[in-house]
Structures are given as structure tokens and as C-alpha cells.
Amino acid sequence: MAEDKKEQEIEGKSKNKIRIIIGIISVVFLLAAAGAAYFFFVNNDEVKDNIAKLPEKAIYVKLKTEEGRKMFITSVKTKGDRARIMQVYAEAKTRSKEASDALKMHMPVVISKLNTLFGKQEFHVIKTYEGKRKMKRDATEILNEVLREKEGINGVETVFFTGIVIQ
């Protein structure tokens, strides 16, 4: 009996040790999880800064006349006697409501400058991919020039040609 009592006492102590070890491991794990949650969700200024720096939703402005003509139609220079006509549908991409409103307000100036740009194009250049890309960059620069002149802002990311027909 005395031996049984000693064995039970030893078993009881070892069970208590196991419980204590499991309890300590659980507490350490919970503290680590709480620290990670705090780091990632509460006190991460970098995440907050990145969220604040996310770009605003894109705004697309159709480049058209007040009368609603949605395209530019202009003659294109050629090397021979043959007359060529180009028709362009264009939209400007911005992320600024201010730039969008300014483009709409100064649309007659924009239309005039873009008509001049499109009228200067040469057929053998504009029919190539690189020629269209250059015209796109030039159009974007013209829109930003108008915005800088009239409003003191830059805001047009790019100009999209949603349709080009050259005949």
C-alpha cells in the first residue's frame, strides 16, 4: 500500500508537470498570436501609408465637341496626290476630379489643339504602331499643357484612342 501511494504521488506530480508545461506553451502561443495581430492590424503605419497611397479610381473623359461630335476628322498628309482622311475617337484617363472638370471646362481649347496635332500627321508614319504611340504621347502632353496653362495642374495619365480609321 505504501508503494501504491508513492506511485500515485509520483504519477500525480508528473501529470501536474505536464499540465503546467501545456499551460505555459498555450500562454506563450496566445501571447505570440496577440502580438502578431497587434503588429499587423493595429500598429502598422506602413500598411496605413500604403492604403492612403492607393490611387483613386480612374476617370475617363471623352474628348468631344460641345455639340456632341465624338470624333475628330482631319486630312492626313501623304507623299502623293492621294487625299487621306483620318477619324479618331479619343478619351483621356485621369484620377483627379479636378483635372476631369478642368478638361471639360476647357474642351474647346483641347479640341482645337488636338485637331492641329491630328492634322499634322503623315500617313506613312501614322499607319505604324510606333506612329500611333507617338501621337498618343503627344496628345497626352497637349492635354497636360492645357491643364498647366489654364489651371496650374497636371492630371492626365494617358490618352486612349478608342477608334482610329484612316482612309
- The x, y and z cell numbers of residue 62, run together, are 471623352
Per DSSP, the chain holds a count of helices (H) and strands (E) of 6, 4
**In 10 A of CB 72, how many CB atoms?**
21
User: Residue 11 belongs to what H/E stretch?
Assistant: helix 2-37
* Phi and psi, residue 64, nearest 5°: -150, 165
pTM: 0.65
Whether 43 shows a pLDDT value over 80: the answer reads: no
Q: Model confidence over 83-129: pLDDT tens digits? A: 888 999 999 999 989 999 999 999 999 999 999 999 888 888 888 99
Distance CA 67, CA 26 (A): 73
Q: Model confidence over 120-167: pLDDT tens digits? A: 888 888 889 999 999 999 999 999 999 999 888 888 999 999 998 888
Whether 1 shows a pLDDT value over 60: the answer reads: no
Residue with the bigger pLDDT between 22 and 39: it is 22
Contact 146, 106 (CB under 8 A): yes
Q: Model confidence over 13-29: pLDDT tens digits? A: 677 788 888 888 988 88
Distance CA 13, CA 45 (A): 48
Distance CA 72, CA 8 (A): 97
Please report, for the chain, the start and end positions of each structural domain, with discontinuous segments joined by +: 2-53, 59-166
Residues with Cβ within 8 Å of 135's Cβ and at least 6 positions away in sequence, in order, are 117, 118, 121, 126, 161
* 59-166 is a CATH 3.30.479.30 domain: yes
Short-list 146, 160, 147, 30, CA closest to 99 = 147
